[in-house]
Amino acid sequence: MARRSANAEEEAGAIDLTPMLDVVFIMLIFFIVTATFIKEPGIEVNRPDANTATPDKANILVAVNSKNEIWINKAKFDERQVKKQIQLLRAENPKSGVVIQADSGANIKTLTQVAQAARELGIEKVAIAAEEG
């Protein structure tokens, strides 16, 4: 009889970890779902410094490197294809703007072609990325 009551007391005093694990998994799922994923244009560019640089969140990132190659979503595009690609990305999120990440050695002509393509599509928020300096 004493043996039976000892087991009952041990079970009553044992900590049940199941609810704690449920809470941990729910929190993990919450953080995964709400995490902000950073979009990269596909190449690394050396952005020029600017005193008036302000952080902006845009969904369409266009990179122009020092060889005047245009990259969107890790894919290289010709100047003639940029407008169509921006239009496709704009269809996914109509409120998005365009941020051009131009290398400091990039040609201004390529930069203006990308900006003009975005403006022709009716995008009002066209910005050039710069580092605060």
Contact 58, 93 (CB under 8 A): no
Instruction: Report which listed range, 10-14, 42-46, 63-67, 129-133, is most confident.
Output: 63-67
CATH number, domain 49-132, options 3.40.50.1470, 3.40.640.10, 3.30.420.270, 1.20.210.10: 3.30.420.270
Q: Using the structure block, give the residue that is written with the tokens 């995008």.
A: 123
pLDDT digits (tens, 9 = 90+) for 55-75: 555 468 898 988 889 998 888
Q: Where are the domains of the chain?
A: 2-34, 49-132
- Three-state DSSP state, 131: strand
Burial class from Cβ neighbours inside 10 Å (0-12, 13-18, 19+) for residue 59 reads middle
Backbone angles phi, psi at 60, to 5 degrees: -110, 110
Task: Of 53-57, 59-63, 75-79, 86-90, give the lowest mean pLDDT range.
Answer: 53-57
